[in-house]
Chain A
Amino acid sequence: SQQGEEDPQALSIQEGENATMNCSYKTSINNLQWYRQNSGRGLVHLILIRSNEREKHSGRLRVTLDTSKKSSSLLITASRAADTASYFCAWDNYGQNFVFGPGTRLSVLP
């Protein structure tokens, strides 16, 4: 399978805490992206990190990429109840398509 893994599969935290999700992939990549999906809705693009980048920030989001380990992490700081969603990583294997991991279900409790 081209799919990698995401860890953890589910995460439950209190509002204000940080949430960290990890993603591993199997192939060489051009870039890696993180998406959020609220229940029953489409995917919202959060951040893209290119293979020559190691870290990227966007607001409360911090993404790291380690191409030697074929892994990425997404950190959400100071979480809010509105951050409750499923989070997916997807990697671009040189333009063929975006390959998605199975996702992490994040619950932020008020």
Chain B
Amino acid sequence: DTGVSQDPRHKITKRGQNVTFRCDPISEHNRLYWYRQTLGQGPEFLTYFQNEAQLEKSRLLSDRFSAERPKGSFSTLEIQRTEQGDSAMYLCASNPLGGGGFFGQGTRLTVV
């Protein structure tokens, strides 16, 4: 499968726990994006990388959210001290410069 891969697909966690999601982009794409989507809404931009550089992170929802792309390949999104309001679908996308975005299937987070 040469598409964008996200893991896990579903995550249930207790409030206060930390969670980490992984995204493997299409290998030749140098840009990688993270989005959050709540029910009935369009995806909301969180952050993006060009290669290993995080070029925009001001949209991360709070300082509990952080993302890395250490070698310019896969990326991780971590949420610390999860809250019930963090329950959402977290989507990853990659694209070549100037091209369309290819999205993964997302990670659905439920905080109980």
* Interface of A toward B, CB cutoff 8 Å: 3, 30-31, 33, 35, 40-45, 48, 88, 90, 92, 95-103
Contacts and interface: CB of A to CB of B under 8 A. Distances in A.
Contact of A31 (B43, B91, B98): B98
Interface in B36-64: 41-45, 48, 56, 59
Contacts of A31: 98, 100
Interface residues of B, number: 25
B42 A97 contact: no
A33 B108 contact: no
A95 B98 contact: yes
B108 A43 contact: no
B98 A30 contact: yes
A97 B56 contact: yes
Given A40-B108, A42-B6, A97-B45, 11 more contacts: A30-B98, A41-B105, A42-B103, A43-B101, A48-B100, A88-B42, A92-B98, A95-B97, A98-B45, A101-B42, A103-B42
8 contacts: A33-B101, A40-B108, A43-B43, A43-B91, A48-B100, A99-B45, A100-B42, A103-B41
A88 B91 CA distance: 14
Main secondary structure of the interface of A (DSSP, over half): strand
B48 A42 contact: no
Interface string B90-112: 01010001111111111010000
A3 to B, nearest CB: 7
Nearest to A96: B56
